[in-house]
């Protein structure tokens, strides 16, 4: 379990102090995929760097269990000596938007690097690195240099490198933001697979709600350095309680105060075929007409992504019919929207 308690971070700048984080409390359960979302500049990257102390919080505690010994007792990373902290960091891996691979080393040597640091026997490290190359699906890239790989392949090597130290936690700092939507999906699948098979707790930092929707179980919303909302993804997405939450969850341009008082659903397209006209077939198959209140969808290589807000008919029967129809669709998630007036 990762527990952040009263985390504040103040950066001294030329024109005074900048408060990047204010009193953030966060609990991330073991084995979870936890999303932290927010607009750029909300403090997401600073917050994730507080977990492995790449940024030292100005005040607050970072409690993580099982890093230094197997007793399971949580330690406050902020109280560790530099040597202890380095040891603790081997249990917390991180992947980055820009991959940050060693450009002068082959992929295999990149994956060996964390083991080299930890003093693992070289032959053993190479063997393990080859296993990891298989895990991330790039067994033939052992002797390639990072410059010869595509962005998605680089991130796979970075993930293999992150797994080399057998971490308990994987931090993903905008890990898919430099990738195209199709590659993003395959990387997210890989991260999800790793989480399920190895039980590694994953913390995902992103500004894309689609990423959270796709793999996260819990989510926290950060705005101007404050944690404004947290809960399960289903909870937050169907019923965002704060202005910031609504801005992130609803399609762009929706006038929240002009929505009807009830019967609104939010549907998210998760890469199903964009050639199936969902709304039209709903009208034809069920005879129910729905009102599109707002939409932000994209067609990527024939796959539909994005979200839509629909107004259901006032008739309860018709509304239920429409809900059931929508819920039966593949690659579409449907949530009823409640309390959006705050």
Partner 1 sequence: MAEFLAFLGPDAAEEVQYLISNVPFAIWETLYSTVLATLFAYIIGLPLGVLLVVGEEGGVLPLPKALMTVLNVVVNLLRSVPFLILMVVVFPLSRVLLGTSIGTKATIVPLFIAAFPFVARLVEASIREMDRGIIEAAQSMGCSPFQIITKVILPECVPSLLTGFATAFVTILSYGAMSGAIGGGGLGAMALNRGYTRHQNIVLWGAVILLVILVQIFQTIGTRLAVGLDRRLSDKGGKKRGRKAAMKKIKQDRRIPDGM
Contact residues for partner 1 (CB under 8 A)?
52, 54, 85-90, 92-94, 96, 98, 100-105, 113-114, 116-118, 145-148, 165, 171
Residue number, 87 or 126, with CB nearest to partner 1: 87
Q: How far is the CB of 8 from partner 1 (least distance, A)?
A: 19
Nearer residue to partner 1 within complex by CB, 11 or 139: 11
Secondary structure class of 252 (helix, strand, coil)? coil
**Owner of token pair 């080299």:** 116
CB of 52 to partner 1, least distance (A): 6
Residue 223 tokens read as 């705005």
17 or 116, CB closer to partner 1? 116
Task: State the alpha helices, DSSP H only, in 250-341.
Answer: 278-286, 316-327
CB of 195 to partner 1, least distance (A): 19
- Residue 120 is given by DSSP the state -
DSSP 148: G
Measuring CA to CA, which residue among 90, 165, 153 is closest to residue 129? Answer: 165
Residue 147 Cβ, how far from partner 1 at the closest point, in Å? 5
- Mapping DSSP to helix (H, G, I), strand (E, B) and coil, where does residue 173 land? strand
Q: Between 91 and 181, name the residue whose CB sits nearer to partner 1.
A: 91
User: How far, CA to CA in Å, does 302 sit from each of 133, 272, 279, 280?
Assistant: 30, 8, 17, 18
Cβ proximity to partner 1: between 99 and 250 the closer is: 99
For partner 1, the closer of residues 145 and 325 by Cβ is 145
Query: What six digits make up the tokens of 328?
Result: 């039966």
Instruction: Tell me the two tokens of residue 297.
Output: 């969808």
Query: CA 316, CA 243: separation in Å to the nearest integer?
Result: 29
Shortest distance in whole angstroms from residue 87 CB to partner 1: 7
Shortest Å, Cβ 101 to partner 1? 8
């Amino acid at each position: 379990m990762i527990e952040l308690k009263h985390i504040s971070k103040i950066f001294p700048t030329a024109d005074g102090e900048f408060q990047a984080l204010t009193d953030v409390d966060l609990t991330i359960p073991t084995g979870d995929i936890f999303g932290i979302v927010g607009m750029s500049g909300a403090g997401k990257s600073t917050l994730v760097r507080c977990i492995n102390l790449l940024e030292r919080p100005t005040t607050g505690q970072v409690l993580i269990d099982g890093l230094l010994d197997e007793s399971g007792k949580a330690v406050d990373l902020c109280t560790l000596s530099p040597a202890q902290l380095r040891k603790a960091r081997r249990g917390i891996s991180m992947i980055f938007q820009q991959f940050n691979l060693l450009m002068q080393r082959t992929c295999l040597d990149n994956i060996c690097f964390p083991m080299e640091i930890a003093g693992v026997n070289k032959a053993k490290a190479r063997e393990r690195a080859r296993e990891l190359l298989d895990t991330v699906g790039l067994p033939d890239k052992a002797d390639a240099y990072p410059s010869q790989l595509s962005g998605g392949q680089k991130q796979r090597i970075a993930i293999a490198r992150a797994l080399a130290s057998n971490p308990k936690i994987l931090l993903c700092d905008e890990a898919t933001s430099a990738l195209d939507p199709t590659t993003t999906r395959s990387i997210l699948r890989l991260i999800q697979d790793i989480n399920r098979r190895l039980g590694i707790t994953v913390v995902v930092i992103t500004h894309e709600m689609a990423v959270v929707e796709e793999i996260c179980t819990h989510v926290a919303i950060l705005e101007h350095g404050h944690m404004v909302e947290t809960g399960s993804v289903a909870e937050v997405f169907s019923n965002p309680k704060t202005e910031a939450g609504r801005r992130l969850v609803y399609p762009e341009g929706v006038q929240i105060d002009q929505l009807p008082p009830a019967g609104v659903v939010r549907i998210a397209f998760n890469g199903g075929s964009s050639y199936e006209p969902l709304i039209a077939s709903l009208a034809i198959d069920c005879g129910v007409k729905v009102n599109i209140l707002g939409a932000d969808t994209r067609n990527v290589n024939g796959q539909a992504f994005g979200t839509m807000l629909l107004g259901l008919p006032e008739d309860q029967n018709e509304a239920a019919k429409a809900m059931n129809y929508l819920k039966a669709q593949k690659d579409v998630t449907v949530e009823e929207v409640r309390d959006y007036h705050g």
